[in-house]
Amino acid sequence: MKVFITGGAGFIGSHLSKALLDQGHDVLVLDDLSTGSMQNLEALQGREGFDYRIGCVTDVPLVTELVDRCDTTVHLAAAVGVRLIVEKPVHTIETNVRGTEVVLGAAAKKQKLVVIASTSEVYGKSKAVPFRETDDLTMGPTSHSRWAYACSKALDEWLGLAYYREKGVPVVICRFFNTVGPGQTGRYGMVLPTFARQALAGDPITVFGSGEQSRCFGHVQDTVEALIRLIQTPEAVGQVFNIGTDEEVTIRRLAERVKAAAGSSSEIVTIPYDEAYAEGFEDMLRRVPSADKLEATVGFRPRTPLETTIADVLEHERARLARA
Ligand code: UDP
């Protein structure tokens, strides 16, 4: 099969590209390198069946041509990372909504399968963990930029499901929970690569808020496995799936575990949200997925223990430091 991956030079996209190539599939990547990087593509260049274009997911003729050349599209291109969302809300909303419109419009011409990346952020402030795909979404007010990301992704979901129901386009929606692993940049605020770099450098490890907020960190390898299975499962079409692990950890405990695993003497410091992000920033206190539907549909759920994931990230960061 030939898979078109928008945002293929990003963290998840480049891991997905590699896994598909390893399984003998062809991959065509489109990325504007806004948050993705050439470095992620370098490892794939020269591999048989791999090709890429640098360009924007809102470029209608380009996207139409690339969707047409492939069997399936995985639409990962988006404005991501909480820091970016808070700093550039216009860019976030426009990129996320317009990009998905363009991809779905192109796929509709020939009824091609599209997998749309959504996010656990759409559950918003809900406290009803574990989150299930049929749960209500509890967004915050429009005065807080953070929720622009969740709403833009929720609109992508509505649009994807509307194309499925009204136009018969095969669409699968994936809600990614915190996905981490080797190669993720901390530049856009992601916590695990940030803690790993701070711990290895001996710098203060910056816990935002009380540190009592918790997350479930899934290994990117598991995310990619789930995605590839979903692409190959016809029953997944027209449905929404959580992709994540249910091993929950508070951010303070994560800082302690990264520090210990790195053998670091870094101090763990607490920074108020207002200072870390923006005045009045609202965080999600808990975010735990139910992966029951995913497992029932594709026979797999993310299970890599956090200990292994932390070790993988630290190993990657140590190698990066050694190269630098
Ligand atoms: N966080 C933190 N220190 C950092 C970066 C993030 O304490 O240097 C916190 C952040 O406030 C959130 C959690 O870690 O509560 C996860 O943040 P991330 O940006 O990785 O993902 P999110 O779950 O917010 O999408």
What domains are there in the chain, each with its CATH number?
2-180+219-246+288-304 (3.40.50.720)
**How confident is the model at residue 194, as a pLDDT?**
95
Catalytic positions: 149
> Do 248 and 177 touch, CB atoms closer than 8 A?
no
Is 71 a pocket residue for ligand 1 (Cβ < 6 Å)?
no
Atom of ligand 1 nearest to the CA of 255: 7
3-state SS record for 244-294: CCCCEEEHHHHHHHHHHHHCCCCCEEEECHHHHCCCCCCCCCCCCECCHHH
**How confident is the model at residue 187, as a pLDDT?**
78
Asked whether the CA dihedral 63, 66, 68, 74 is positive or negative, the reply is negative
**pTM metric for this prediction:** 0.96
Residue to probe by mutation, ligand 1, list 220, 251, 266, 306, most atoms within 8 Å of CB: 251
For 185, the 3-state DSSP assignment is coil
Q: How far is the CA of 118 from the CAs of 37, 158, 174, 240, in angstroms?
A: 21, 11, 5, 9
Which residue's CA is minimally distant from atom 6 of ligand 1? 191
E strands, the chain, in order: 2-6, 26-31, 50-54, 72-75, 113-119, 171-176, 179-180, 205-208, 214-216, 218-219, 240-243, 248-250, 268-271
Atom of ligand 1 nearest to the CA of 213: 15
Is 216 a pocket residue for ligand 1 (Cβ < 6 Å)?
no
CA of 262 to the centre of ligand 1 (A): 19
Is 193 a pocket residue for ligand 1 (Cβ < 6 Å)?
no
Atom of ligand 1 nearest to the CA of 207: 7
Whole-angstrom Cα distance, residue 123 to residue 216?
A: 14
Residue 26 phi, psi (nearest 5): -95, 150
Which residue's CA is minimally distant from atom 19 of ligand 1? 190
Q: How far is the CA of 148 from the CAs of 81, 96, 145, 286, 295, in angstroms?
A: 12, 10, 5, 19, 30
**How confident is the model at residue 85, as a pLDDT?**
83
**How confident is the model at residue 18, as a pLDDT?**
97
> Do 241 and 297 touch, CB atoms closer than 8 A?
yes
Asked whether the CA dihedral 266, 270, 272, 273 is positive or negative, the reply is positive
State which residues of the chain have pLDDT below 50.
none
Residue 185 phi, psi (nearest 5): -85, 145
